[in-house]
Chains A and B, each alone.
Chain A
Amino acid sequence: MDMVLVAEPKQVVAPGEVLAEGDHLLGDNAYRIGTKIFSACVGILEVDGNRVFVVPLKGGYFPRVGDLVAGRIVDIGLSGWLVDIRAPYEAMLPASETPGPRGPRRRDLSTSYEVGDMVLAEILAFDRTRDPLLTVKGPGLGKVASGRVVEISAAKIPRLIGRKGSMISMLKKETDCQITVGQNGVVMVWGKSPESERVAVEAIYMVEREAHTRGLTDRIREMISRSRVVEQVAGTQTA
């Protein structure tokens, strides 16, 4: 049967808008009634071969097993901690999923993490019947002792990382900061100075705001170098 695209790819579509007619494969946020395919959210229409899907412009984080997330400890329970990962479900980090001694010496959980602490963790398990389960056993995971916490829309994380990591690599290099991107929209930033951290934070918000525009990478690089000029000038003036 004929496959016809009704909406324009790379353009914004609204819920209920007709995307296509025909035997296309349905990707994320596309559904079918009869021969017509409709969008289920506000987003950008993408077509990949004969697969039609919509990339949402907004939306919270929906947990996926294997994702790296940055979360905040909100409660200490008997056998673990409750972690806010900015998702519709609160996550659980069991003590058994943290490195360290086992047994009776490990009585007081608050010696490991306190309420308010930030942790980098991986989603170990999640399905429709239970809340996400986290682990911090792994390289680079665990309590975050310093740095800035930046919260952006999880939908913009792919743009922040960029094709083959191009955007995030550029950001790290240009701002001279260490940046860890949580799939849940929480980004950790460590810089050598508060000033360089501020520039990195500003750049991350800029990606969130202008994610679906052309030439973003260059504009951000521009913004960062302008900020550094200001910084240097300010530096020489106070010196």
Chain B
Amino acid sequence: MNKLPEPKQPEKLIDDKGLRIDGRRLDELRPIKLEVGLLDKADGSAYIEQGKNKILVAVYGPREAHPKHIAMPERAVIRCRYHMAPFSVDERKNPAPSRREMELSKVIRESLEPVVLTDLYPRTTIDLFIEVLQSDGGSRCAGITAASLALADAGIPMKEMVAACAVGKIEGKLALDLSDAEDKYGEADIPVALVPNAGLVTLLQMDGHLTLSEFEQGFTMALEACKTLHAMQREVLKKKYATIKEAAEEREEAEVVA
């Protein structure tokens, strides 16, 4: 059978210098790349790379609700599909939606519901498609961070953007932004999404084992990371539109000089 050998369990998740397998410190985020407006047909789109995660998000809407019976008379319905590409993980994943994908679709949708001004578009749907092209731990959080950008890129009015990040426990120590191996062989994982101005936590899950005090520390760490990500989101959006402005102005100056 075509089976790749299982990646081996790493000997240590934290080395004697206090660095993780990928060289990060415990409180360090993975390298992040954010892009908006990269798809042509979608109303809004965004792409995120966070460590080895590669996630593409598209937004269609607000558009007429089909079938009509799912529409709500006073607001838009938000629909969210979190889906992993079959080649996104070590062992090929069956493309049919799994129970995990269904749960994640729900919690991701619920993390974004509070910020979208759905009252402005009754009887429509706003559709969010999150495609995980490559997965390496923390994909639901990265998906939420990118989904907020895609919604903003679609011009859908929203109170603010939502940023998300996970904190975990590896070899007894709290660590920010777990990779897949760290989540698999670690002791706990807490994905968190924060709406910063309103100060609301809109995604919160946990699995593993944590004392109350460990949870408190980890939770606070995750909230801080969300604020960092939020600043990155804002920068990406402003930069995208500022560059168009700058490029045209540069050309104009060049012509004047010529």
> Residues of A with Cβ closer than 8 Å to B?
11-17, 29, 31, 33, 38, 40-42, 56-60, 88-90, 128-129, 155, 209-210, 212-216, 219, 222
Chain B CB within 10 Å, residue with most, of A12, A31, A88, A89:
A88
Interface contact A14-B155, CB-CB below 8 Å: no
CA distance A216 to B248 in the complex (A): 8
Chain A residue nearest to B197 in the complex (CB): A16
CA distance A17 to B196 in the complex (A): 11
Interface contact A58-B154, CB-CB below 8 Å: yes
Q: Chain B nearest CB: distance from A21 CB in Å?
A: 13
Interface secondary structure of B, over-half rule: mixed
Interface contact A89-B123, CB-CB below 8 Å: yes
Q: Does B219 contact A (CB under 8 A)?
A: no
Enumerate B133-178 residues with CB–CB distance to A below 8 Å.
Answer: 152-161
Instruction: Kindly identify which residue among B61, B73, B251 contacts A129, using a CB–CB cutoff of 8 Å.
Output: B73
Interface contact B161-A15, CB-CB below 8 Å: yes
Interface contact B155-A17, CB-CB below 8 Å: no
Interface contact B234-A209, CB-CB below 8 Å: no
7 further interface pairs, Cβ-Cβ under 8 Å (given A14-B238, A88-B121): A11-B242, A14-B237, A16-B234, A40-B157, A42-B152, A213-B244, A215-B252
Asked, given contacts A14-B161, A213-B245, whether A60 binds B197 with beta carbons under 8 Å apart, the answer is no
Tell me the count of chain B residues lying within 8 A, CB to CB, of chain A. Answer: 41
- Count A/B pairs, Cβ under 8 Å: 100
Interface contact A57-B64, CB-CB below 8 Å: no
Interface contact B157-A29, CB-CB below 8 Å: yes
Chain A residue nearest to B62 in the complex (CB): A88
Interface contact A209-B155, CB-CB below 8 Å: no
Interface contact A155-B61, CB-CB below 8 Å: no
Asked, given contacts A14-B234, A213-B248, whether A40 binds B158 with beta carbons under 8 Å apart, the answer is yes
Instruction: Kindly identify which residue among A16, A42, A129 contacts B153, using a CB–CB cutoff of 8 Å.
Output: A42
Q: Does B44 contact A (CB under 8 A)?
A: yes
Q: Chain B nearest CB: distance from A19 CB in Å?
A: 12
CA distance A133 to B242 in the complex (A): 38
> With a CB–CB cut-off of 8 A, which chain B residues contact A41?
152, 155-158
Instruction: Kindly identify which residue among B153, B155, B159, B252 contacts A31, using a CB–CB cutoff of 8 Å.
Output: B159
Interface contact A16-B160, CB-CB below 8 Å: yes
Instruction: Kindly identify which residue among A12, A40, A214 contacts B238, using a CB–CB cutoff of 8 Å.
Output: A12
Q: Does B86 contact A (CB under 8 A)?
A: no
Q: Chain A nearest CB: distance from B155 CB in Å?
A: 3
Asked, given contacts A33-B197, A60-B43, A129-B73, whether A155 binds B248 with beta carbons under 8 Å apart, the answer is no
What are 12 A-B contacts defined by CB distance under 8 Å? A12-B242, A15-B158, A16-B159, A29-B157, A31-B159, A38-B159, A40-B117, A41-B152, A88-B61, A213-B245, A219-B251, A222-B255
Top 10 nearest A-B pairs (CB, nearest first) are: A16-B160, A59-B155, A213-B248, A58-B155, A88-B62, A40-B157, A88-B124, A12-B241, A14-B237, A14-B234
Interface contact B234-A17, CB-CB below 8 Å: yes
CA distance A33 to B160 in the complex (A): 12
CA distance A72 to B54 in the complex (A): 38
CA distance A13 to B157 in the complex (A): 13
> With a CB–CB cut-off of 8 A, which chain A residues contact B123?
89
CA distance A60 to B120 in the complex (A): 13
CA distance A38 to B157 in the complex (A): 12
CA distance A213 to B249 in the complex (A): 7
CA distance A222 to B44 in the complex (A): 32
Interface contact B158-A58, CB-CB below 8 Å: no
Interface contact B237-A128, CB-CB below 8 Å: no
Interface string of B223-258 (1 = CB under 8 A from A): 000000010011001100110110011011001000
> With a CB–CB cut-off of 8 A, which chain B residues contact A40?
117, 157-159
Chain B residue nearest to A212 in the complex (CB): B245
Interface contact B252-A16, CB-CB below 8 Å: no
Q: Chain B nearest CB: distance from A130 CB in Å?
A: 9
Interface contact A16-B244, CB-CB below 8 Å: no
Interface contact A58-B153, CB-CB below 8 Å: yes
Instruction: Kindly identify which residue among B62, B73, B152 contacts A14, using a CB–CB cutoff of 8 Å.
Output: B152
Asked, given contacts A13-B238, A58-B44, A213-B248, whether A89 binds B196 with beta carbons under 8 Å apart, the answer is no
Asked, given contacts A14-B161, A16-B197, A219-B248, whether A212 binds B155 with beta carbons under 8 Å apart, the answer is no
Enumerate B47-63 residues with CB–CB distance to A below 8 Å.
Answer: 61-63
